[in-house]
Amino acid sequence: MRILFVGDVVGKPGRDAVEKLLPGIRSQTRADFVIVNGENSAGGLGITRDIAMSMYGKSKVDVITLGNHAWSIRDSHTFLDEEPRILRPSNYPPGVPGRGLGIFQRPEGAVCVISLQCRVFMEHCDDPFRAIDDLLESVPTTCKIIFVDLHGEATSEKQAFGWYVDGRVSAVVGTHTHVQTADERILTKGTAFLTDAGMTGPINSIIGMDREVATSRFLTGLSSRFEVAAGPAKLCGVVIEVDAQTGKALSIERVSGTTGGVEPVDEDEEEDFMSQVNT
């Protein structure tokens, strides 16, 4: 089983990169299963039903994972409850919209996908280390392939988590920082690990956002609303091969692709997304 994971999709440039580049990358990597983190896909914050359905349809994405912006768009709450192929972090309190674990059947075998959020420098959530112990107890023993999207800020916390579950899951791939790391490896007991998959979004930006707006925050200390940057975009991700019989990782390789030309952001569309953001 070859799993292709695409890092945080940011705004329209990121969505365009997924639509244009993912089919080719999927073919080149011979991926059997595709997971995309879409938590920044709607104007940089959250996701909408239409965006998710477009990824499922046009881009043939199998599963979408989210992170700390899972509930940023008010109208997505019902969708998260209804759609089993979209996963928000598992370690939020009971009763919040959506689900954090899904098991998906494929000819090569069942794939369990788990979304978790870290705690260091992040909004409050339950302990992901204790949460994964409980979650793994609920996974049927017949499901050998287990993939974890670990959404977090601190590299040390992500690495500690990788070692904590080494041999118990097939792969742990970090998201959230929007900067791809170069530490891909298979840990000693067979778990593929990468601290962060990186961002799928505008190249000439500050983690996907307009450079001038983001820089002014550092220069003035004043808060201003982020805006998704325009221009060509880069898709960042990772492909992991897993032994479907044992669930152990066989290989891990970073992948990327770039769109050409300058494609302006639809300001009316982005403004519409921002009007839906929870405050």
Two structure tokens written together for 172: 């742990």
Q: What are phi and psi of 265, to 5 degrees?
A: -75, 135
> How many CA atoms are closer than 13 Å to the CA of 109, on its beta-carbon side?
20
Helix (H) or strand (E) holding 79: helix 76-82
42 contacts 242 by C-beta, under 8 angstroms: no
Sheet bearing 171-175, strands edge to edge: 101-106, 109-117, 145-151, 171-175, 192-194, 185-186
Using CA atoms, how far apart are residues 158 and 167, in angstroms rounded to an integer? 16
Residue that the structure tokens 């896909």 belong to = 41
Nearest residue to 193 (alpha-carbon basis) of 203, 201, 183, 202:
183
**Mapping DSSP to helix (H, G, I), strand (E, B) and coil, where does residue 18 land?**
helix
Using CA atoms, how far apart are residues 62 and 2, in angstroms rounded to an integer? 13
- Neighbouring CB atoms inside 10 A of 102's CB total 18
Nearest residue to 137 (alpha-carbon basis) of 115, 169, 171:
169
47 contacts 67 by C-beta, under 8 angstroms: no
Using CA atoms, how far apart are residues 214 and 14, in angstroms rounded to an integer? 18
**Catalytic annotation on 69?**
yes
Which residues is 204 bridged to in the sheet? Answer: none
Catalytic residue among 69, 151, 176, 178: 69
Residues with active-site annotation: 69
